Structure 1
Amino acid sequence: MQLLRTILIILLVYYGFKILSRLFAPLLVRFVAKKAEQKFGQQFGGFQNPNQQRQQARQKEGETVIDKMPNKNKSSNQKVGEYIDYEEID
């Protein structure tokens, strides 16, 4: 009897979740889409902080600007390994 009761409870929970998900899924999708739209608008919708606006005002058209110089302290390892010549065999 306990097994039958457990199976019945599992089925009720499953179908209840299925019905509720059909009701609330469109609301959840709308909410996620709205949040993604806001995030996209902040990144690409012309939002600029005052420092960027001043920098663009000073920069002339066609001018190259380097924001960060690479580190000069990088040392490359000259011993990268031994070169092995090979032939393809058919």
Structure 2
Amino acid sequence: MGLLRTILIILLVYYGLKIFSKLFGPAIMKSAAKKMEKKFSQQFNQQRPQQTVRPEGEVTIDKAPENSKKSNDRVGEYVDFEEIE
């Protein structure tokens, strides 16, 4: 009798979870997707600096730092040549 009762409880729990997941699964997944979307958008906004609003007509020029220019000394020597017939 105890074995039959245990099997019945296991089957009821299994089918109960199956029905519960079909009813509430989409809502749970939708809320999880919204949370992930919010988290990703926050990370994206942290990585990208906020652009300041400038009045119309104002011009700004961003210059690269001078130490970022690399010299190409090891490229080699350019030799001008002429084709001989």
Shorter-normalised TM-score: what interval?
0.5 to 0.7
Give CA deviations for 1:19-67 in whole Å, capped at 9, x if unaligned. 00111110111011101110111111477678xx7xxx9x63xx25xxx
Q: Where does structure 2 lack aligned partners over 5 or more consecutive residues? A: 53-59, 66-85
- TM-score, structure 2 length as denominator? 0.54
Hey, what does 2:37 align to over in structure 1?
Answer: 37
Structure 1 distance, partners of 2:45, 2:29, is 22
Hey, what does 1:18 align to over in structure 2?
Answer: 18
Q: Where does structure 1 lack aligned partners over 5 or more consecutive residues? A: 65-90
Q: Which has the larger radius of gyration?
A: 2
Hey, what does 1:2 align to over in structure 2?
Answer: 2
Structure 1 distance, partners of 2:44, 2:12, is 46
Of the two structures, which has the highest relative contact order with CA contacts closer than 8 Å and spacing of 6 or more?
1
Structure 1 distance, partners of 2:39, 2:17, is 30
Structure 2 distance, partners of 1:46, 1:2, is 59
Structure 2 distance, partners of 1:42, 1:6, is 48
